Structure 1
Amino acid sequence: MARCYSACVRNRYPPCSLPAIWLISDARIDERLEAALRRLPRGSGFIFRHYHLPLPERRARFRALMKISRRHGHLTVLADEAQQARRWKAQGAYGSSKRLTRGLALLRLVTAHSLKEIGDANRMRADAVLISPVFSTRTHPGAPTLGSIRYRLLAARSRVPVIALGGMNPARAQAIGANRWAAIESLAHRCKPLFPIHS
């Protein structure tokens, strides 16, 4: 799988098959991240955010989690500028289209909340776009959501692979027809694991 991603980045397009499931880190689930990474199906994606940590601590936490992520065959992406992601040896960078520079040998996962941002992702030929928030989420309580219909409308305008984000779980992903989805808490739930734990 690592060879697939390397070839994908070198050729830029067409993109290779991206993971269907993405775990996104957050301060609320920090203590559960190691177990969550081991529970994910092999070859899933992991987006490390942890914006709350000072830079040295953030880098140390990223290194520790990246080791586990790669041990289980997951794709590891840093939420930061592409140059920083390359310095930290991440396999990709995550953020707004304005933060991700073209031309670097990294996967670029772009956030989008509107039709304009979908257009930005198309123009920069991002490797994927995360459309959010599809449903309500504790990350942004009370914030407006897209809902299934607006999500589908935005996804239909994307010329790059789409990842649904915001209140997502397997049942909701299936209901809205999302082939790829990302989540924070539903993938880190310690009482009701969604997937079998890897050895």
Structure 2
Amino acid sequence: MRRARVPTHWLFTDERLGGPAPGDPLWAAIHRLPRGGGIVFRHYGLPADQRHALLQSVLALARRRGLLVLGAEIGGTPGGRHLPGHARNRHRPMRGLLAAATHDRRSLLQAFRQGADLVFLSPVFPTRSHPGGRVLGPVRFGLAAAGATGPVIALGGMGPERLRRLKPLGASGFAGIDCWLA
């Protein structure tokens, strides 16, 4: 936590949430995040100009709500940067936090060695984002997170109830998409 306090509640954005229209689920999800929460802005499928315009709208709302925003493969996010698992450029952002996507203990340890301030470890439970995909489950999550040198945020099928189960196993917080829609 070299640069800022790390939120414990996170929203990952994607095209399923919509965004450009005021009634899209993205805006309700952002409003459900508690003050001090975080957003990982992705929306990879949008054309660059639309993606940047949406990011500016998300940043404006996040400022008003006291939320931190990390950009995934997009510049202009003062909160920092999120490195997806496929990211090749692992340089620290000029300011803010550096987060990394991890899927096992090896990638988690490597991310912290390379300077990540926090990691998202996933998928912990089944998720609509990756139907039928292999999940860690609580035991493998705990084994991967054990002794981590920074915050480990659980991602994949998460919500507040599941976070309570994972905190004793090393979860510092949780992230999701669908959990912010209900």
The two structures have a TM-score, normalised by structure 2, of 0.88
1:55 matches 2:48: yes
What are the equivalent positions in structure 2 for 1:24-103 lying under 5 Å apart? 24-30=12-18, 31-80=24-73, 84-85=74-75, 88-95=76-83, 96=85, 98-102=88-92
For the structure 1 residues 28 and 123, does the alpha-carbon distance in structure 2 shift closer, same or farther, using more than 3 Å as the test? same
Query: CA offsets, 1:28-79, max 9 Å, x none?
Result: 1221111221222111101111011011111111111111111100001111
Q: Distance in 2 between matches of 1:173 and 1:21?
A: 10
How well do the aligned residues superpose, as a CA RMSD in angstroms? 1.7
CA distance in 2, matches of 1:185, 1:46: 13
| Contiguous gaps of at least 5 residues in structure 1 | 10-15, 190-199
- Equivalent pairs: percent with the same residue? 37
1:187 deviation in Å? 0.9
Native 8 Å contact 1:25 1:48 kept in 2: yes
Q: Distance in 1 between matches of 2:105 and 2:147?
A: 8
CA distance in 2, matches of 1:103, 1:70: 19
In structure 1, the residue matched to 2:104 is: 114
- Give 1:103 shift: 6.3
How far apart are residue 113 of structure 1 and its match?
0.5
Contact persistence 1:29–1:185 (CA under 8 A): no
- Tell me the distance in 1 between the aligned counterparts of 2:157 and 2:145: 17
- One-letter code aligned to 1:109: A
Could you list the per-position Cα deviations for residues 138-167 of structure 1 after superposition, in whole angstroms to 9, with x for gaps in the alignment? 111111000000001111142111100000
Answer yes or no: is 1:105 the counterpart of 2:95: yes
| Aligned-partner residue type, residue 158 of structure 1 | A
Q: Please say which of residues 40-49 and 93-102 is displaced more in the overlay.
A: 93-102
Helix, strand or coil at the partner of 1:116:
helix
Question: What SS does the aligned partner of 1:119 have?
Answer: helix
Most deviating of 56-65 and 100-109 = 100-109
Give deviations 1:112-154, integer Å, cap 9, x for gaps. 1022211211211211010000001111111100000000111
Work out which of the residue numbers 164, 188, 197 in structure 1 matches 2:181.
Answer: 188
Q: Please tell me whether the aligned partners of residues 45 and 74 of structure 1 are also in contact (alpha carbons under 8 angstroms).
A: yes
1:23 corresponds to 2:23: no
Letter in 2 for 1:100: R
